[in-house]
Amino acid sequence: MLLHFLIAAAGTLLARRYALQRDLLDHPGERRSHQVATPRGGGIAIVVAMLVAILALALRDPSQRWLLGGFGVGLVLVAAVGMVDDHRPLPASLRLAVHALAGMVLAISVQMAAGNPWLSAMAFLSVIVLTNIWNFMDGINGLATSQALLLALALAWLLGGSWALLAGALAASCTGFLPFNFPRARIFLGDGGSGGIGYCLAGLGTIAALTGGAAALWLLLPLSAFMVDAGLTLLKRVVQRERWWEAHTRHAYQAWARVVGHTRVTLAYASWTATTVAVMIVLRSTPVALALALCVVTYLAASVVWWRLERMESHIKTTGDK
């Protein structure tokens, strides 16, 4: 774990130097939530740390070599298209196609390992969903990385063997990057980093489902903050016929951050997710029906919070105008 922490920390420093030299900066604007020009692309250090972990575990545990190999190939695809996009913006359709290819690679690996078409379908869909959600939700300091850290810890607890170690490597890598991004951002993850993190969580979540279907259901709890904010915001933009694939600042977390600041929002989201992780750990041995009921209640509560946050900023503006 210390090795992956150091790889991520040192890699982030190198990525920041590279970004400054190449002028890879995110500048403030109406589609951004930050106020100063900031380097991007630091998340590639997390991807490198994860690839080192995948290689080491494949050498250590030959029985998992093919599944780890498929996991690694998919991660390279997602991170590579994100890195290119960080240098020169690519069409959303091309990025999505590469994400789908990465999901297919992972799905084929899962099918070869488990012979379960439902889990293979889950692998494919979860890669597309979580890869893009982590990209959508990477808009304020520390949010995407802190959420990934908490989920990685939850996955390390759920999983066993090499996969628990891989989840631990993700947690350690996120910890190495986080001080450069929170509370003040000296570098952003970039599309390569945020997409790579989302892919890793999708892959590890699918492997957790191999150990039992209830594990995947319980994982929906700590995913609730991101799933609801990203999902309902996307639905709202589609209904309003906006160009939903373009960058924007319409998420609830962004509206809230404009009122109270990045740090408080990131810590609030972390508190929500840490609480759901604790609930998952305490109640995991209870019947699946309880897990389903808790998921329904949690997502309904998160939806209500999203609705309130969406209206908070406009209410403040209206009150101020009066």
- In this predicted structure, what is the pLDDT of residue 35? 67
| DSSP 8-state class, residue 141 | T
pLDDT category of residue 31 using cuts at 50, 70 and 90 = low
What distance in Å separates the CA atoms of residue 277 and residue 220, rounded to the nearest whole number? 10
Instruction: Report the mean per-residue pLDDT for the chain.
Output: 91
Express each pLDDT in 155-196 by its tens digit: 999 898 899 999 999 999 999 999 999 999 999 999 999 999
Q: Would the pLDDT of 245 be above 80? A: no
What distance in Å separates the CA atoms of residue 220 and residue 213, rounded to the nearest whole number? 12
- In this predicted structure, what is the pLDDT of residue 210? 85
Q: Would the pLDDT of 279 be above 70? A: yes
Half-sphere exposure at residue 94, Cβ-oriented, CA atoms within 13 angstroms: 9
Lowest mean pLDDT across 60-74, 261-275, 280-294? 280-294
Q: pTM of the entire structure?
A: 0.93
CA distance readout (Å), 126 to 103, 180, 227, 274, 296: 8, 28, 12, 21, 19
Higher pLDDT, 234 or 216: 234
- In this predicted structure, what is the pLDDT of residue 321? 43
pLDDT category of residue 214 using cuts at 50, 70 and 90 = confident
Lowest mean pLDDT across 210-214, 285-289, 303-307? 210-214
Express each pLDDT in 82-96 by its tens digit: 999 999 999 999 999
Cβ-in-10-Å burial (0-12, 13-18, 19+) of 2 comes to exposed
What percent of the chain shows pLDDT beyond 70? 94
pLDDT category of residue 137 using cuts at 50, 70 and 90 = very high
Express each pLDDT in 44-97 by its tens digit: 999 999 999 999 999 999 989 999 999 999 999 999 999 999 999 999 999 999
